[in-house]
Copies of this chain bind each other. A is one copy, B any other.
Amino acid sequence: MALIIQKFGGSSVANAERVMNVARTITDTYKEGNDVVVVVSAQGDTTDDLIEKAMEINPRGSKREMDMLLTAGEQISIALLAMAIEKIGCPVVSLLGWQAGFHTNTAHGAARIEEIKADRLLKEIDKHKIVIVAGFQGIHKGDDLTTLGRGGSDTSAVALAAALHADLCQIYTDVTGVFTADPRKVPNAKKLTDITYDEMLELATLGAQVLNNRSVELAKKYNVEIEVLSSMVKEPGTIVREVAKMEKMLIRGVTKDMDVARISVVGMQDVPGNAFKLFSSLAAKGINIDVILQSVGRDGTKDISFTCAKSNAEQATELLENIFGLEGATVSCDTSIAKVSVVGAGMQSHAGTASKMFGALYEAGINISMISTSEITISVLIEKEMADKAVAAVHKAFFG
């Protein structure tokens, strides 16, 4: 007997049939003698439909009213899921974010959970009820509804697991676990039985959209054991925890990230403080930068290249032209690139990972235009048309 948190995303409850399917998964776990608390997102396209309704009326409505609007989405899905469980004949109660005690700060649209007051939750669990909690939402000190922002339901589930000291937090998705590469693109991608928080964080950041980063950070902080598994296929998923057991595995996965733009500032004056000026001006606009490369150019100038999300590229280019264009430098932006990375805590203690990766790319005839490394990752920038080929080649080199 354990306390298990289960989280289901919007596509898992998109229609009546899927809601019943999820209800069976939940009641199976309950009937095995476990206490079960479920976090669920809004059905399928509900959130997008609500946003569209709002845009039609006022594209610049307040975030406070947008939160009022969007939180209705999960309210609908928790009620329907509870009714499905009632049909199967298990005791159940649905709770909104505020009823489940999710107290957040006042940042509408991207609120942070400050505390989970679990009295009501614990009372319902004591009555041996399955509890269905609306993900993505909470309440602030002014008694107004808030939403947690992107990936909010994952965060709700992990926060709940931490607050209730749950034995396991199961995140149900449309894949059966975390793979060494995207299984839709790389046929012999292998499912990992476990992975560390840090590895999972790198994989998420690098474009493997399985778990939201914020939820993994939270899980790491409170040492919540997560299982990523499929809501459709019944089989064990991938466990995310502090220490992974597959010690012998050098790397855990190969990922690609297509949302990358490279911005180059060529021919900057080689005076102290230019790099600082560049990156602090970007930071002031909230533009996150990723891979950075600095090189000495001709005639005592220097060049700096860096990558950022495509959505920030135009703004960053314009900003830097205004600063460095006047000083004679040329700013250019390239969106025809992709980032391919290998991730794995094992590579820290193994030499040769980088050369193995570069060798595989060379043999596949793929040109590397930038390289970046961290303790547990090696990333390269390449032409975006070559991304899938690169992932396959690198994956083959490491996993055969």
Contact = CB atoms under 8 A, between A and B. Distances in A.
A57 interface: yes
A65 B83 contact: yes
A20 B68 CA distance: 18
Interface of A: 16, 19-20, 50, 53-54, 56-58, 60-62, 64-66, 68-69, 71-73, 75-76, 78-80, 82-84, 86-87, 93-94, 96, 99, 120, 143-145
A28 to B, nearest CB: 18
A53 B76 CA distance: 9
A99 B68 CA distance: 12
Contacts of A83: 54, 57-58, 61-62, 65-66, 69
A252 to B, nearest CB: 39
- Most chain B beta-carbon contacts within 10 A, residue among A19, A75, A76: A76
Binding site secondary structure of chain A: helix
Contact of A76 (B20, B50, B61, B93): B50
A79 to B, nearest CB: 4
Contacts of A76: 50, 53, 69, 72
Contacts of A145: 96
A47 to B, nearest CB: 12
A303 B46 CA distance: 58
B99 A84 contact: no
A75 B78 contact: no
A53 B80 contact: yes
Contact of A66 (B53, B62, B65, B79): B79
Nearest to A83: B61
